[in-house]
Amino acid sequence: MKVLIIDDDPILIMVCTRLMKITGFSEVVYAAKEGLEGMDLLKEQLSTAPEQLPDLILLDINMPVMNGWEFLDELLTLLPKMQHALPVFMLSSTIDQADFDRADSYEVVKGFYSKPLTKENLEEIEKILGIDA
């Protein structure tokens, strides 16, 4: 499994990457510090090496340059060019119900988790995606 983490917190990226490798969830983890960087990575992979596209995205909401909502809107324009759906799981420290409701309005968003990511979150993601652990 290949995972793209988009978050402006380098410590969170490091912890998530380590957790995914320790648990065997993912050996390949791409990281972007904000939405535009993540979008550029996806577009590059789509045009040059589509087999390298991630299997899922962990996405923060509040980031500089391009926030999570702007990223999701841009992602929707890319999906028709992809061979398979690219599930997104929100990973945020928000407690605002409006954020949860807004995330639910995106079909591509399959779950919403509070930071930090846990082993239990990864197990739930596997269940949602139908992956045998």
At 49-71, the pLDDT tens digits run 888 899 999 999 988 999 999 99
| Domains of the chain listed by start with CATH number | 2-129 (3.40.50.2300)
Sign of the torsion formed by the C-alpha atoms of 65, 26, 99 and 73: positive
DSSP labels for 77-128? HHGGGSSS---EEEEE----HHHHHHHHT-TTEEEEEESSP-HHHHHHHHHH
At 100-121, the pLDDT tens digits run 889 899 999 999 998 899 999 9
**CA–CA separation, 33 and 8 (whole Å):** 4
pTM of the predicted model, to two decimals?
0.92
* Residue 133 in this model has a pLDDT that exceeds 80: no
At 78-89, the pLDDT tens digits run 888 887 789 999
The predicted structure's pLDDT at residue 23: 94
Q: Which residue has the tokens 């926030």?
A: 67
Contact 45, 53 (CB under 8 A): yes
At 15-30, the pLDDT tens digits run 999 999 999 999 899 9
The predicted structure's pLDDT at residue 92: 86
* Residue 132 in this model has a pLDDT that exceeds 90: no
